[in-house]
Amino acid sequence: MELLLQTLLNGILMSGIYALVATGLALSLGVVGIVNFAHGEFLMMGAFLSYLLFAFRGMDPLLSLGLAFLAAFVVGALTYQGLIRPVLRAAELNQMLLTFGLSILLQNLALLLFGADTRVVAPPYQATTLSLGPFFLGVVPFGAFLLSLAILLMLQVFLTRSRFGLAMRAVSQNRLAPGLLGIEADKVYLLAFGLAAALAGVAGVMLSVMLYASPTVGFVFTLKSFAIVALAGLGNLKGVVPAALVLAMAEALVSTYLPGGGGLVEAVFFLVLFLALVGRAWRKA
C-alpha cells in the first residue's frame, strides 16, 4: 500500500512539468495552428542554458528560470517570425516537415556544441529529500511541481483576464472575427508562439536538475506532449493538466510494478496515445 502511494506521489510530482511542456505545445497548436515538432528543442535549450549558467557562472537554477523564460520567448518569437510565419498558409505537411527539420537541426547543433554527454546541474539541494511520514519527497521534484503549478495558474489568469490572453483564446476559436475587430492575428501568433517556447524553456531548466541536459532530452518530451494533447483533446487547454497527470501516473506505475519497468517507461506514452485515439474514435462512432 505504501509503495502504491509513493508511486502515485512520484507520478503527481512529475505531472507538473509534463503539463507545463504540453501546455506550450497546445498553445502553438491551438492558437497558431502549427504542429511544432521542435517544441522539445526549446526545452533542450532551456536545459543547456541552465547548465551553462551553473557551470560557468555558478548561477542557481532557480535564478536561471527567469532568464530561460525570456531567452526561450525571444527564440520562439524569432522562430515564428523567420520560419513559421512564411508557411502559415502552406500545406500542413510542409509545416510539419519544417518544424521536424528544425528539430533535427537544433539537436545536431547541440551535439556539435556540447557533445552527446548528459550534463547535470547539481546545486547543493539537489539530493535533499523531505520525509512525510512513510513517504519521501525529493525537494527538487516537489519544488518543480509547485513552480509548474504556479506558472500554469498565472497563465490561466493571463488567458482569462488580460486582453492579449483573451485575444489568444479568441484566435483559436474563430480565425475570421479577430481581424474584423481590429486585432492583428499575426501579433497574437507571435506572442503565443513565444509564450509556448518560454514554457518549454522553463521546464528545461527544471529538467536540467531533475534529469539532465543533453541534445536529445527535448525530443521525447515533444512526443509525450503530443500524447497529452491528444488525450486532452486538441485545443483544450484546461484538459492538459489532467491528461498530464494520467500520463505521469501511468509511467510511475509501470516503472514500479512492471518487471524491468524502468526500460518500458519511455514507451508508456505510446500506449496512452494509442488508447486516447482509439477511445476518441470509438466515442464518435
Partner 1 sequence: MRLEVQNLETGYGKAQVLFGLDLVVGEGELVALLGANGAGKTTLLRTISGLIPPWRGKVLWDGEDLRRFSPARRARLGLGHVPEGRQLFPLMTVEENLRLGAAFLAPEREREGFERVFALFPRLYERKRQLAGTLSGGEQQMLAIARALMGFPKILLVDEPSLGLAPRLAEEVLLSLKRVVEEGVGVLLVEQNVALSLEVAARAYVVEHGRIVLQGLAHAVLEDPRVREAYLSL
Task: Provide the binding-site residues for partner 1, judged by CB under 8 A.
Answer: 160, 163, 166-167, 169-170, 173-174, 176-185
Q: Smallest distance from the beta carbon of 267 to partner 1, in angstroms?
A: 35
172 vs 208 by CB, closer to partner 1: 172
Q: Where are the alpha helices (DSSP H) in the chain?
A: 2-27, 39-57, 61-79, 92-114, 139-161, 163-173, 177-180, 185-210, 217-232, 240-257, 261-264, 268-284
177 vs 278 by CB, closer to partner 1: 177
Q: Smallest distance from the beta carbon of 157 to partner 1, in angstroms?
A: 14
129 vs 173 by CB, closer to partner 1: 173
Amino acid at 92: E
169 vs 265 by CB, closer to partner 1: 169
Q: Contact, 45 vs 75, CB < 8 A?
A: yes
Angle among Cα 138, 142, 143 to the nearest 5 degrees reads 115
117 vs 184 by CB, closer to partner 1: 184
Q: Smallest distance from the beta carbon of 282 to partner 1, in angstroms?
A: 24
91 vs 285 by CB, closer to partner 1: 91
Alpha-carbon distance of 118 to 120, in angstroms, equals 7
128 vs 236 by CB, closer to partner 1: 236
Q: Smallest distance from the beta carbon of 169 to partner 1, in angstroms?
A: 6
Q: Smallest distance from the beta carbon of 91 to partner 1, in angstroms?
A: 18
C-alpha cell at 139: 525537494
Chain centre to alpha carbon of residue 249: 17
Torsion of CA 13, 18, 23, 25, to 10 degrees: 170
Q: Smallest distance from the beta carbon of 285 to partner 1, in angstroms?
A: 25
Alpha-carbon distance of 250 to 245, in angstroms, equals 8
Q: Smallest distance from the beta carbon of 172 to partner 1, in angstroms?
A: 9
Which residue is it, cell 485575444? 167
**269-272 contacts, C-beta under 8 A, 24 or more apart:** 269/223, 269/224, 269/227, 269/228, 270/227, 272/227, 272/228, 272/231, 272/246, 272/247
